[in-house]
Amino acid sequence: MSAGTVTLTPMTRRTAAERHSDSAPDRAPGAESGADLLDVLIAFHHPTRRWLCEVLSAEGPANVGMLAERTGLAVGSVSHHLKALHRHGFVEPAPELARDTRQSWWRLVARDLSWLSDDFVEGTMGRRLAEDAEVANFRHHVRAVRQWMAVAHEVPDEWRRAAVSTDTYVRATVEQTTELSRRVTELLVDWSRECRADERARPDAVRRPVRAHARVFPSGPVAPERTR
* H, E, C per residue of the chain: CCCCCCCCCCCCCCCHHHHHHCCCCCCCCCCCCHHHHHHHHHHHCCHHHHHHHHHHHHHCCEEHHHHHHHHCCCHHHHHHHHHHHHHCCCEEECHHHCCCCCCCEEEECCCCCCCCHHHCCCCCHHHHHHHHHHHHHHHHHHHHHHHHHHHHHHCCHHHHHHCCCCCCCCCCCHHHHHHHHHHHHHHHHHHHHHHHHHHHHCCCCCCCCCCCCCCCCCCCCCCCCCCC
- 42 lies in the same domain as 114: yes
Task: Please give the pLDDT value at position 58.
Answer: 94
- 107 lies in the same domain as 193: no
- 143 lies in the same domain as 36: yes
- 171 lies in the same domain as 122: no
In this predicted structure, the answer to whether residue 17 has a pLDDT above a threshold of 60 is no
* 105 found inside a domain: yes
Percent of the chain with pLDDT over 70: 86
Backbone angles phi, psi at 105, to 5 degrees: -105, 145
- 34 lies in the same domain as 108: yes
Q: Which of 122, 143, 166 is the last residue of a domain?
A: 166
Q: What is the pLDDT of residues 111-153, one digit of tens each?
A: 888 899 999 999 999 999 999 999 999 999 999 999 999 999 9
CA distance 147 to 212: 14
* 12 found inside a domain: no
Q: Which of 144, 166, 188 is the last residue of a domain?
A: 166
* 218 found inside a domain: no
Task: Please give the pLDDT value at position 25.
Answer: 60
Task: Please give the pLDDT value at position 49.
Answer: 96
Number of independent structural domains in the chain: 2
- 55 lies in the same domain as 154: yes
* 224 found inside a domain: no
* 192 found inside a domain: yes
Q: Which of 140, 147, 134, 152 is nearest to 38 (CA)?
A: 134
Which of 103-107, 137-141, 180-184, 215-219 is the least confident region?
Answer: 103-107
Backbone angles phi, psi at 91, to 5 degrees: -135, 165
Q: What is the mean pLDDT of residues 179-197?
A: 96
In this predicted structure, the answer to whether residue 26 has a pLDDT above a threshold of 70 is no
Residue 15's pLDDT band (cuts 50, 70, 90): low
- 195 lies in the same domain as 95: no
The CATH number assigned to the domain holding 75 equals: 1.10.10.10
* 56 found inside a domain: yes
124 half-sphere exposure, CB direction, 13 A CA radius: 12
Q: What is the mean pLDDT of residues 78-98?
A: 94
Look up the domain containing 134 and give its range: 18-166
Task: Please give the pLDDT value at position 33.
Answer: 77
- 79 lies in the same domain as 110: yes
Better-predicted residue by pLDDT, 33 or 19: 33
- 38 lies in the same domain as 136: yes
Residue 167's pLDDT band (cuts 50, 70, 90): very high
